[in-house]
Amino acid sequence: MREGPDTAAARITGREVTGVRALSGALAEVSLDGGQVVIAKRQDAPGGVGTEAAGLRWLGEAGTVRVPAVHGHDGEWLVTERVPTGRPSRQAAVRFGRDLAALHARGAAAFGVPPPGGPRDASIGLAPMRNVPGDDWPTWYAEHRVLPYLRRAVDDGTLRPAEASVVDQACERLPGLAGPAEPPARLHGDLWNGNVLWGADRQAWLIDPAAHGGHRETDLAMLHLFGCPHLDQVLDGYQETAPLAEGWRDRIGLHQLFPLLVHTVLFGRTYAVQAVETARAALAR
Protein backbone atom coordinates (compact mmCIF):
# COMPACT_ATOMS: atom_id res chain seq x y z
CA MET A 1 0.00 0.00 0.00
CA ARG A 2 1.33 3.43 -0.95
CA GLU A 3 2.38 5.86 1.74
CA GLY A 4 -0.04 8.75 2.21
CA PRO A 5 0.79 12.47 2.17
CA ASP A 6 0.45 12.78 5.96
CA THR A 7 2.92 9.99 6.63
CA ALA A 8 5.30 11.29 3.97
CA ALA A 9 5.18 14.86 5.28
CA ALA A 10 5.81 13.72 8.85
CA ARG A 11 8.78 11.61 7.79
CA ILE A 12 10.32 14.24 5.49
CA THR A 13 9.88 17.22 7.84
CA GLY A 14 10.37 15.38 11.12
CA ARG A 15 7.23 17.09 12.45
CA GLU A 16 3.97 15.74 13.82
CA VAL A 17 0.98 15.99 11.46
CA THR A 18 -2.20 17.48 12.88
CA GLY A 19 -4.39 17.43 9.77
CA VAL A 20 -4.54 16.71 6.06
CA ARG A 21 -6.74 17.97 3.22
CA ALA A 22 -6.56 16.18 -0.11
CA LEU A 23 -6.43 18.49 -3.15
CA SER A 24 -6.14 15.67 -5.68
CA GLY A 25 -4.98 12.07 -5.75
CA ALA A 26 -1.35 13.19 -5.68
CA LEU A 27 -1.54 16.54 -3.86
CA ALA A 28 -2.51 17.48 -0.32
CA GLU A 29 -2.30 20.28 2.22
CA VAL A 30 -0.78 18.93 5.41
CA SER A 31 -0.98 20.75 8.76
CA LEU A 32 2.02 20.34 11.06
CA ASP A 33 2.37 20.89 14.78
CA GLY A 34 2.80 24.58 15.48
CA GLY A 35 0.24 25.55 12.84
CA GLN A 36 2.42 25.43 9.73
CA VAL A 37 0.73 24.13 6.56
CA VAL A 38 2.77 22.52 3.79
CA ILE A 39 2.05 20.97 0.42
CA ALA A 40 2.84 17.29 -0.11
CA LYS A 41 2.99 16.18 -3.73
CA ARG A 42 3.57 12.73 -5.23
CA GLN A 43 5.25 12.66 -8.63
CA ASP A 44 5.44 9.58 -10.85
CA ALA A 45 6.80 11.30 -13.98
CA PRO A 46 10.36 10.72 -15.26
CA GLY A 47 12.91 12.30 -12.95
CA GLY A 48 10.43 12.23 -10.08
CA VAL A 49 10.19 14.83 -7.37
CA GLY A 50 13.95 15.43 -7.54
CA THR A 51 13.44 17.24 -10.84
CA GLU A 52 10.92 19.65 -9.37
CA ALA A 53 12.89 20.20 -6.16
CA ALA A 54 16.06 21.03 -8.09
CA GLY A 55 14.13 23.38 -10.34
CA LEU A 56 12.50 25.24 -7.45
CA ARG A 57 15.84 25.69 -5.72
CA TRP A 58 17.54 26.91 -8.92
CA LEU A 59 14.80 29.43 -9.59
CA GLY A 60 14.64 30.46 -5.95
CA GLU A 61 18.34 31.12 -5.59
CA ALA A 62 18.05 33.79 -8.28
CA GLY A 63 16.20 35.95 -5.73
CA THR A 64 13.74 37.29 -8.29
CA VAL A 65 10.30 35.69 -8.80
CA ARG A 66 9.12 34.03 -5.61
CA VAL A 67 8.93 30.23 -5.42
CA PRO A 68 7.83 27.96 -2.57
CA ALA A 69 10.61 26.78 -0.28
CA VAL A 70 11.48 23.09 -0.53
CA HIS A 71 11.22 21.38 2.86
CA GLY A 72 12.46 18.05 1.54
CA HIS A 73 11.79 15.18 -0.83
CA ASP A 74 12.41 11.50 -1.40
CA GLY A 75 11.94 9.25 -4.40
CA GLU A 76 8.18 9.69 -4.37
CA TRP A 77 7.06 12.72 -2.33
CA LEU A 78 7.98 16.42 -2.36
CA VAL A 79 7.09 18.71 0.55
CA THR A 80 7.07 22.45 -0.07
CA GLU A 81 5.87 25.67 1.47
CA ARG A 82 2.18 26.39 0.95
CA VAL A 83 1.44 29.71 -0.77
CA PRO A 84 -1.67 31.48 0.55
CA THR A 85 -3.42 32.67 -2.59
CA GLY A 86 -4.97 36.03 -3.40
CA ARG A 87 -6.16 37.76 -6.54
CA PRO A 88 -4.11 38.97 -9.52
CA SER A 89 -3.73 42.71 -9.93
CA ARG A 90 -2.23 45.01 -12.53
CA GLN A 91 0.45 46.13 -10.08
CA ALA A 92 1.41 42.54 -9.22
CA ALA A 93 1.50 41.67 -12.92
CA VAL A 94 3.96 44.49 -13.71
CA ARG A 95 6.17 43.35 -10.85
CA PHE A 96 5.95 39.77 -12.07
CA GLY A 97 7.12 40.86 -15.52
CA ARG A 98 10.09 42.69 -14.03
CA ASP A 99 11.00 39.77 -11.79
CA LEU A 100 10.64 37.26 -14.62
CA ALA A 101 13.03 39.32 -16.75
CA ALA A 102 15.50 39.36 -13.87
CA LEU A 103 15.15 35.58 -13.45
CA HIS A 104 15.88 34.98 -17.12
CA ALA A 105 18.90 37.28 -16.89
CA ARG A 106 20.45 35.09 -14.19
CA GLY A 107 21.19 32.77 -17.09
CA ALA A 108 22.32 29.18 -17.51
CA ALA A 109 25.53 27.50 -18.58
CA ALA A 110 23.99 26.27 -21.86
CA PHE A 111 20.71 25.66 -23.61
CA GLY A 112 19.19 22.51 -22.18
CA VAL A 113 21.32 22.41 -19.05
CA PRO A 114 19.39 21.06 -16.04
CA PRO A 115 19.34 22.80 -12.65
CA PRO A 116 22.21 21.83 -10.33
CA GLY A 117 21.33 18.41 -8.95
CA GLY A 118 18.57 17.96 -11.50
CA PRO A 119 18.52 14.87 -13.71
CA ARG A 120 19.26 14.74 -17.42
CA ASP A 121 16.13 12.64 -17.93
CA ALA A 122 13.46 14.91 -16.47
CA SER A 123 9.84 15.66 -17.34
CA ILE A 124 7.40 18.37 -18.34
CA GLY A 125 4.04 17.52 -16.86
CA LEU A 126 3.80 13.75 -17.33
CA ALA A 127 5.90 13.70 -20.51
CA PRO A 128 9.61 12.86 -20.50
CA MET A 129 11.99 15.73 -21.24
CA ARG A 130 15.73 15.26 -21.78
CA ASN A 131 18.04 18.01 -20.63
CA VAL A 132 20.88 17.79 -23.17
CA PRO A 133 23.16 20.87 -23.31
CA GLY A 134 23.72 22.75 -26.58
CA ASP A 135 25.31 26.02 -27.67
CA ASP A 136 23.13 26.95 -30.66
CA TRP A 137 19.48 27.58 -29.77
CA PRO A 138 17.78 26.79 -33.12
CA THR A 139 19.65 23.48 -33.46
CA TRP A 140 19.15 22.51 -29.82
CA TYR A 141 15.47 23.51 -29.80
CA ALA A 142 14.67 21.47 -32.90
CA GLU A 143 16.63 18.40 -31.83
CA HIS A 144 15.76 18.22 -28.14
CA ARG A 145 12.45 20.05 -27.72
CA VAL A 146 10.40 19.81 -30.93
CA LEU A 147 11.40 16.68 -32.84
CA PRO A 148 11.24 14.10 -30.00
CA TYR A 149 7.56 14.89 -29.42
CA LEU A 150 6.85 15.16 -33.13
CA ARG A 151 8.22 11.65 -33.72
CA ARG A 152 6.28 10.22 -30.80
CA ALA A 153 3.05 11.85 -32.01
CA VAL A 154 3.55 10.25 -35.43
CA ASP A 155 4.37 6.87 -33.88
CA ASP A 156 1.24 7.09 -31.74
CA GLY A 157 -0.88 7.92 -34.80
CA THR A 158 -1.92 11.30 -33.38
CA LEU A 159 -0.12 13.23 -36.11
CA ARG A 160 -0.12 12.22 -39.78
CA PRO A 161 3.22 12.00 -41.64
CA ALA A 162 2.18 14.74 -44.08
CA GLU A 163 1.38 17.02 -41.15
CA ALA A 164 4.66 16.18 -39.47
CA SER A 165 6.52 17.30 -42.58
CA VAL A 166 5.18 20.83 -42.03
CA VAL A 167 6.74 20.90 -38.56
CA ASP A 168 9.95 19.40 -39.97
CA GLN A 169 10.12 22.25 -42.48
CA ALA A 170 9.68 24.82 -39.72
CA CYS A 171 12.56 23.20 -37.81
CA GLU A 172 14.76 23.33 -40.90
CA ARG A 173 14.06 27.05 -41.23
CA LEU A 174 14.59 27.82 -37.55
CA PRO A 175 18.05 29.43 -37.99
CA GLY A 176 16.48 32.07 -40.23
CA LEU A 177 13.32 32.49 -38.15
CA ALA A 178 14.73 32.52 -34.63
CA GLY A 179 15.77 36.17 -34.51
CA PRO A 180 18.98 37.54 -33.01
CA ALA A 181 21.11 35.12 -30.98
CA GLU A 182 20.43 35.27 -27.24
CA PRO A 183 22.39 33.83 -24.31
CA PRO A 184 20.82 30.91 -22.43
CA ALA A 185 18.21 32.10 -19.94
CA ARG A 186 17.16 30.52 -16.66
CA LEU A 187 13.69 29.25 -17.59
CA HIS A 188 10.76 28.05 -15.54
CA GLY A 189 10.13 25.83 -18.55
CA ASP A 190 6.40 25.11 -18.09
CA LEU A 191 5.06 28.61 -17.58
CA TRP A 192 1.37 28.24 -18.22
CA ASN A 193 -1.16 30.17 -16.15
CA GLY A 194 -1.78 27.26 -13.76
CA ASN A 195 1.84 27.42 -12.62
CA VAL A 196 1.62 31.10 -11.69
CA LEU A 197 0.07 31.60 -8.25
CA TRP A 198 -1.10 35.06 -7.26
CA GLY A 199 -0.28 35.20 -3.59
CA ALA A 200 -2.06 36.87 -0.71
CA ASP A 201 1.15 38.94 -0.41
CA ARG A 202 0.26 40.57 -3.79
CA GLN A 203 3.15 38.88 -5.56
CA ALA A 204 3.29 36.20 -8.23
CA TRP A 205 4.77 32.85 -7.25
CA LEU A 206 5.98 30.13 -9.61
CA ILE A 207 5.28 26.44 -8.98
CA ASP A 208 5.79 23.12 -10.81
CA PRO A 209 8.81 24.08 -12.94
CA ALA A 210 10.41 22.08 -15.73
CA ALA A 211 13.43 24.32 -15.29
CA HIS A 212 16.36 24.34 -17.72
CA GLY A 213 18.51 26.68 -19.75
CA GLY A 214 16.61 27.97 -22.76
CA HIS A 215 15.48 30.97 -24.78
CA ARG A 216 13.67 33.57 -22.70
CA GLU A 217 10.96 34.00 -25.33
CA THR A 218 9.86 30.39 -24.66
CA ASP A 219 8.51 31.22 -21.17
CA LEU A 220 6.68 34.25 -22.56
CA ALA A 221 5.22 32.22 -25.42
CA MET A 222 3.81 29.75 -22.90
CA LEU A 223 2.07 32.58 -21.06
CA HIS A 224 0.53 33.64 -24.38
CA LEU A 225 -0.54 30.11 -25.28
CA PHE A 226 -2.69 29.41 -22.24
CA GLY A 227 -3.41 32.95 -21.08
CA CYS A 228 -2.37 34.87 -18.00
CA PRO A 229 -4.22 37.53 -16.01
CA HIS A 230 -3.06 41.04 -16.92
CA LEU A 231 -0.66 39.67 -19.53
CA ASP A 232 -0.19 43.11 -21.10
CA GLN A 233 1.04 44.43 -17.76
CA VAL A 234 3.34 41.43 -17.31
CA LEU A 235 4.89 42.24 -20.69
CA ASP A 236 5.14 45.94 -19.84
CA GLY A 237 7.15 45.10 -16.73
CA TYR A 238 9.31 42.66 -18.65
CA GLN A 239 10.06 45.13 -21.43
CA GLU A 240 10.95 47.87 -18.95
CA THR A 241 13.57 45.58 -17.42
CA ALA A 242 14.94 43.65 -20.40
CA PRO A 243 13.51 44.70 -23.79
CA LEU A 244 12.86 41.85 -26.18
CA ALA A 245 14.47 41.72 -29.60
CA GLU A 246 12.56 43.23 -32.50
CA GLY A 247 10.04 40.85 -34.04
CA TRP A 248 9.52 38.82 -30.88
CA ARG A 249 5.74 38.72 -31.36
CA ASP A 250 6.24 37.07 -34.76
CA ARG A 251 8.29 34.33 -33.06
CA ILE A 252 5.72 33.39 -30.41
CA GLY A 253 4.41 30.50 -32.52
CA LEU A 254 7.88 29.00 -32.96
CA HIS A 255 8.33 28.85 -29.20
CA GLN A 256 4.84 27.38 -28.79
CA LEU A 257 5.64 24.37 -30.98
CA PHE A 258 7.31 22.66 -28.03
CA PRO A 259 4.39 22.87 -25.55
CA LEU A 260 1.85 22.19 -28.31
CA LEU A 261 3.60 18.97 -29.26
CA VAL A 262 3.96 17.96 -25.61
CA HIS A 263 0.21 18.42 -25.28
CA THR A 264 -0.30 16.47 -28.50
CA VAL A 265 1.54 13.53 -26.95
CA LEU A 266 -0.33 13.80 -23.66
CA PHE A 267 -3.81 14.87 -24.74
CA GLY A 268 -4.31 14.11 -28.38
CA ARG A 269 -5.49 15.32 -31.74
CA THR A 270 -6.76 18.83 -30.93
CA TYR A 271 -3.26 19.98 -30.05
CA ALA A 272 -1.82 18.21 -33.10
CA VAL A 273 -3.96 20.35 -35.39
CA GLN A 274 -2.93 23.48 -33.53
CA ALA A 275 0.77 22.57 -33.76
CA VAL A 276 0.55 22.06 -37.53
CA GLU A 277 -1.31 25.35 -38.01
CA THR A 278 1.33 27.13 -35.91
CA ALA A 279 4.14 25.63 -38.01
CA ARG A 280 2.38 26.68 -41.24
CA ALA A 281 2.03 30.23 -39.95
CA ALA A 282 5.75 30.35 -39.15
CA LEU A 283 6.62 29.12 -42.65
CA ALA A 284 4.40 31.79 -44.21
CA ARG A 285 6.38 34.62 -42.67
Whole-number pLDDT of residue 190: 97
> pLDDT tens digit string along 243-285?
999 999 999 999 999 999 999 999 999 999 999 999 999 999 8
| Domains in the chain, CATH or no CATH each | 84-285 (3.90.1200.10)
| Average pLDDT for 191-202 | 96
- Measured in degrees and rounded to the nearest 5, phi and psi for residue 33 equal -60, 140
Residues 6+ apart with CB under 8 A from 114: 51, 54, 120, 122, 131, 211, 212
| Average pLDDT for 126-136 | 94
Nearest to 102 by CA among 141, 59, 41: 59
Asked if pLDDT for residue 48 goes beyond 90, the answer is no
Rg for the chain, CA atoms, rounded: 19
Asked if pLDDT for residue 44 goes beyond 80, the answer is no
Enter the DSSP assignment of 63. Answer: T
Asked if pLDDT for residue 3 goes beyond 90, the answer is no
> pLDDT tens digit string along 162-191?
999 999 999 999 999 999 999 999 999 999
Q: Distance between terminal CA atoms of the chain?
A: 55
* Pairwise CA distance, residues 61 & 4, whole Å: 30
Whole-number pLDDT of residue 46: 64
Instruction: Give, in order, the Cα–Cα distances in Å from 99 to each of 94, 103, 108, 272.
Output: 9, 6, 17, 33
Whole-number pLDDT of residue 285: 81
Instruction: Give, in order, the Cα–Cα distances in Å from 66 to each of 56, 100, 198, 202, 214.
Output: 10, 10, 10, 11, 20
Enter the DSSP assignment of 142. Answer: I
Asked if pLDDT for residue 155 goes beyond 90, the answer is yes
Whole-number pLDDT of residue 25: 79
Assign residue 117 a region: left if phi > 0, alpha if psi is -120 to 50, beta otherwise?
Answer: left
In three-state secondary structure terms, 154 is: helix
Nearest to 199 by CA among 67, 98, 59: 67
Let me know if 111 is exposed, middle or buried by CB neighbors in 10 A (0-12, 13-18, 19+): buried
Specify whether the CB–CB gap between 64 and 99 falls below 8 A. yes
> pLDDT tens digit string along 71-99?
999 878 999 999 999 999 999 999 999 99
Nearest to 260 by CA among 245, 280, 246, 244: 280
